[in-house]
């Protein structure tokens, strides 16, 4: 039986759902799978030994057209493989609000970082279930994206096992432009939490402090403080039981009504016809073309 290690970061659940789909697909093909959260490794609550796996999967959301800081930090601590014969094969999966060429270059920096440490990325795929930034999708749209993503996860499994090479490409001009945008976005994304404001409804339950993936939140002198290591994943915003964390000026970042993907999938509420939002521009192509 072959072994697979899936290392992933999921801010509000989208990437974790895709990781679970991929786990199920490989389990059905007699793989032994470990699912490991990057934040657990970085917080020293989980140790890793990548050399023990026949295959490695790396998963995370696309945020600001790039990778969250926590993913770069995780790759930085991966044990370096120094001999060519011990290099590990890696597939990368990302989640994004839209599967379009604008996001095709989002994994290029981490692919280079992985290669420098002896991990050979030969396959990448972008999935979409929903948007947890800015745009709100109707529940029926989310259900169809979820169903399409499950089929694509099974296809990923088949293609990875067969050794198919699949690396997303764009024109050199678009790649250069997006590389510039990624570099500009990184410092901005780390500072997003500095725009957070905590309302009086906060009960100081400590949930945001405990669950922040990068330990960027602390309580000091009875006040919630935010540091400079934010991943802009919005986990704290959506998981606060009192909805006490919001934005001063960037209020458009959070989708209206909050975001809980597991709740949406368990209890979908299709809108009235008059309240329906426009379908995302990539929706029909994503649902209709399994290879997209």
Q: Number of structural domains, the chain?
A: 1
Q: What gap in Å lies between CA 236 and CA 257, rounded to an integer?
A: 15
Average pLDDT rounded to a whole number, residues 115-140: 95
What CATH number is given to the structural domain containing 31?
A: 3.40.50.360
User: Looking at the predicted structure, is the pLDDT value of residue 221 above 80?
Assistant: yes
**pLDDT at residue 117, as a whole number:** 94
94 in a structural domain: yes
Q: What gap in Å lies between CA 256 and CA 262, rounded to an integer?
A: 17
CA angle 94, 96, 99 (to 5 degrees): 95
289 in a structural domain: no
What average pLDDT does the structure give for the chain?
94
**pLDDT at residue 18, as a whole number:** 98
**pLDDT at residue 274, as a whole number:** 75
39 in a structural domain: yes
**pLDDT at residue 271, as a whole number:** 83
Q: What gap in Å lies between CA 19 and CA 86, rounded to an integer?
A: 25
Provide φ and ψ at 47, rounded to 5°: -100, 155
**pLDDT at residue 163, as a whole number:** 96
The tens digit of pLDDT for each residue in 250-291 reads 999 999 889 999 999 999 988 887 788 989 999 999 999 999
73 in a structural domain: yes
231 in a structural domain: no
Position 183 confidence tier, pLDDT thresholds 50, 70, 90 = confident
**pLDDT at residue 241, as a whole number:** 95
Q: What gap in Å lies between CA 216 and CA 231, rounded to an integer?
A: 9
DSSP H helices in 163-282:
172-191, 207-211, 235-239, 261-266
**pLDDT at residue 123, as a whole number:** 98
224 in a structural domain: no
87 in a structural domain: yes
**pLDDT at residue 180, as a whole number:** 87
251 in a structural domain: no
Domain that holds residue 19: 2-172
């Amino acid at each position: 039986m072959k072994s697979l290690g899936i290392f992933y970061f999921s801010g509000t659940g989208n990437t974790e759902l895709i990781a679970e789909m991929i786990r199920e697909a490989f389990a059905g093909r007699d793989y032994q799978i470990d699912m490991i959260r990057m934040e657990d490794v970085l917080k020293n609550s989980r140790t890793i030994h990548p050399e023990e796996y026949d295959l490695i999967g790396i998963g995370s959301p696309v945020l600001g057209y790039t990778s969250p800081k926590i993913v770069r930090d995780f790759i930085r601590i991966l044990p370096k493989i120094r001999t060519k014969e011990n290099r590990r094969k890696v597939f990368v999966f990302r989640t994004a609000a839209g599967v379009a060429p604008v996001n095709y270059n989002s994994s290029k920096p981490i692919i280079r970082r992985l290669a420098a440490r002896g991990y050979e990325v030969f396959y990448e795929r972008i999935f979409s279930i929903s948007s947890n930034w800015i745009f709100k999708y109707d529940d029926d749209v989310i259900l169809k994206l979820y169903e399409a993503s499950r089929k694509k996860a099974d296809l990923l499994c088949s293609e990875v096992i067969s050794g198919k090479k699949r690396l997303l490409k764009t024109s050199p001009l678009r790649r250069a432009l997006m590389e510039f945008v990624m570099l500009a976005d990184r410092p901005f994304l780390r500072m997003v939490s500095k725009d957070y404001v905590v309302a009086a409804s906060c009960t100081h339950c400590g949930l945001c402090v405990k669950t922040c993936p990068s330990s960027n939140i602390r309580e000091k002198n009875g006040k919630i403080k935010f540091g400079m290591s934010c991943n802009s994943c919005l986990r704290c915003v959506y998981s606060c039981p009192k909805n006490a964390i919001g934005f001063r000026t960037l209020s458009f970042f959070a989708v209206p009504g909050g975001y809980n993907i597991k709740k949406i999938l368990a209890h979908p509420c299709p809108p009235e016809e008059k309240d329906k939002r426009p379908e995302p521009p990539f929706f029909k192509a994503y649902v209709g073309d399994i290879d997209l």
